[in-house]
């Protein structure tokens, strides 16, 4: 129980950190002040943080040797105008911590503060990973986790833990599950090519709008007829662009959309079947171009790490505050880490009344419960290092 008490004693400090960051948000790969702030706080604890890891990330280690557990917090904000009327509202026009990554940083600083006081109990290394740009990718398709991995942040890491505040889950609750936790996300960009002509004489051309309609129907058939009904899968068209006037059949149609799945086998099948659906355009005398860009994989929570985390949550929280679940078709780039080393991701409920939606201009959280997230992470890291579980090869 002592870690929970120590964390509770830190609750005000964690809130202060979070509100400072909330007032000073920075976009992905521009987290310069944020990184400086994190490094400054870590130095105060006697740690030796490394900056510019994964471009604007910060990493620090406590203890050394094996095993090594990494604890991850993302640190980027979003291009949204903060419309809240609170004293810690964003001071940067058009930029806002609308997903709660400020809270993740504050909680991880809390974990570092607690574990520094328990260095004697650490049989191994705790690596604090402050990751930039979770919310998107740069023009070369790299997000913060990708670049941190390139900078060897996972070298020697045996397990990794990440948490996310959840603005719609009751404040002070804990939620996770074994297995898939977030979706793999791929994006497609297509062009359906026909032959333009007068709208009154369609037989003189090849109508790409008509062909596109067939393709959209066929794509719905992939989900309905080709994929096992027990396997989650989504293909959504998000953009369709064509035409210049009511009486002209245009020469081509441009489309884009998102593909979501959990199982890597389903992910591959969706990509193949989507390509087949676009090939329909040839049956109608047209042609197509299709580019599928692979984004993040899905998070697959390691069963033994879930068990450990749940034991810790059970020690700190009454049973009604702990639930099994959290799987959604959203994406989270923690998956980049957890596809390489065994990992677990969980939600900390932080709902206000009424709840505020993530990525909305009034997003806010009940930050009085952040100390619980800090306590759960700190205690899990301690228990893991004191009694390392064997996470077998291939058991992600």
Residue found under tokens 């650490």: 122
CB of 330 to Zn ion, least distance (A): 8
Those residues whose C-beta lies under 8 Å from the C-beta of residue 361, and which sit 6 or more positions away, are 80, 81, 82, 83, 84, 96, 98
Residue found under tokens 């026009």: 93
Q: Is 134 a catalytic residue?
A: yes
CB of 346 to Zn ion, least distance (A): 13
Looking at the Cβ atoms of 79 and 141, the one nearer to Zn ion is 79
Q: Which of 99, 109, 266, 365 binds Zn ion (CB under 5 A)?
A: 99
- Interacting span for Zn ion (CB under 5 A) from 22-30, 97-105, 137-145, 248-256: 97-105
Give the separation between CA 256 and CA 278, rounded to whole angstroms. 12
Q: What is the DSSP letter of 223?
A: I
- Interacting span for Zn ion (CB under 5 A) from 96-104, 196-204, 310-318, 363-371: 96-104
Give the separation between CA 308 and CA 386, rounded to whole angstroms. 12
Interface pattern 124-163 for Zn ion (x via CB under 5 A): ----------------------------------------
Give the separation between CA 88 and CA 99, rounded to whole angstroms. 15
Q: Is 311 a catalytic residue?
A: no
3-state secondary structure 285-320: CCEEEEEEEECCCCCEECHHHHHHHHHHHHHHCCHH
How far is CA 232 from each of CA 226, 250, 364, rounded to the nearest angstrom? Answer: 12, 36, 30
Looking at the Cβ atoms of 207 and 364, the one nearer to Zn ion is 364
Q: Tell me the number of residues near Zn ion by CB under 5 A.
A: 1
How far is CA 392 from each of CA 159, 181, 285, 305, 341, rounded to the nearest angstrom? Answer: 11, 20, 53, 12, 11
Catalytic residue among 82, 134, 135, 379: 134
Looking at the Cβ atoms of 81 and 314, the one nearer to Zn ion is 81
What is the token pair recorded at 34? Answer: 């944020």
CB of 335 to Zn ion, least distance (A): 13
CA dihedral 110, 104, 161, 179 (to 10 degrees): 140
Looking at the Cβ atoms of 42 and 365, the one nearer to Zn ion is 365
CB of 211 to Zn ion, least distance (A): 36
CB of 135 to Zn ion, least distance (A): 5
Catalytic residue among 31, 76, 273, 379: 76
Q: Which of 69, 68, 75 is nearest to 53 (CA)?
A: 75
Q: Which of 79, 329, 74, 325 is nearest to 186 (CA)?
A: 329
Is there binding between residue 96 and Zn ion (CB under 5 A)?
Answer: no
Q: Which residue is nearest to Zn ion (CB)?
A: 99
- Interacting span for Zn ion (CB under 5 A) from 13-21, 99-107, 112-120, 193-201: 99-107
CB of 345 to Zn ion, least distance (A): 11
| Residues carrying an active site annotation | 76, 134
Residues that bind Zn ion (CB under 5 A): 99
């Amino acid at each position: 129980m002592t870690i929970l008490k120590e964390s509770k004693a830190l609750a005000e400090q964690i809130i202060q950190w979070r509100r400072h960051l909330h007032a000073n948000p920075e976009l992905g790969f521009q987290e310069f002040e944020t990184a400086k702030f994190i490094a400054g706080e870590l130095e105060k604890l006697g740690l030796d943080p490394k900056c510019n890891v994964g471009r604007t990330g910060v990493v620090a280690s406590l203890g050394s040797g094996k095993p090594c557990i990494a604890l991850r917090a993302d640190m980027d904000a979003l291009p949204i105008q903060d419309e809240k009327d609170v004293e810690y509202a964003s001071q940067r026009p058009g930029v806002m911590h609308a997903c709660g990554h400020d809270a993740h940083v504050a909680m991880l600083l809390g974990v570092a503060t607690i574990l520094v006081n328990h260095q004697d109990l650490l049989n191994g290394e705790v690596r604090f990973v402050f990751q930039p740009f979770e919310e998107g990718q740069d023009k070369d398709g790299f997000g913060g986790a990708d670049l941190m991995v390139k900078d060897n942040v996972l070298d020697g890491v045996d397990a990794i833990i990440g948490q996310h505040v959840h603005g719609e889950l009751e404040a002070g609750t804990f939620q996770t599950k074994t297995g898939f936790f977030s979706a793999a996300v791929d994006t497609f960009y297509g062009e359906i090519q026909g032959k333009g002509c007068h709208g009154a004489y369609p037989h003189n051309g090849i109508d790409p709008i008509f062909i596109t309609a067939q393709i959209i129907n066929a794509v719905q058939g992939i989900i309905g007829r080709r994929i096992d009904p027990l396997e989650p899968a989504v293909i959504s068209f998000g953009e369709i662009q064509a035409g210049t006037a009511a009486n002209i059949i245009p020469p081509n149609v441009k489309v884009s959309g998102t593909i979501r799945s959990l199982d890597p086998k389903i992910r591959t099948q969706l990509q193949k079947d989507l390509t087949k659906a676009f090939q329909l355009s040839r049956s109608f005398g047209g042609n197509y171009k299709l580019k599928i860009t692979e984004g993040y994989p899905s998070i697959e929570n390691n069963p033994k790490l879930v068990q450990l985390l749940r034991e810790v949550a059970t020690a700190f929280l009454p049973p009604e505050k702990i639930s099994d679940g959290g799987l959604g078709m959203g994406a989270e780039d923690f998956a980049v880490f957890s596809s390489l080393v065994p990992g677990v991701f969980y939600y900390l409920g932080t709902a206000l009344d009424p709840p505020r939606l993530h990525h909305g201009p009034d997003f806010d959280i009940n930050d009085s419960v952040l100390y619980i997230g800090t306590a759960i992470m700190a205690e899990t890291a301690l228990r893991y290092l004191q009694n390392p579980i064997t996470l077998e090869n291939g058991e992600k």
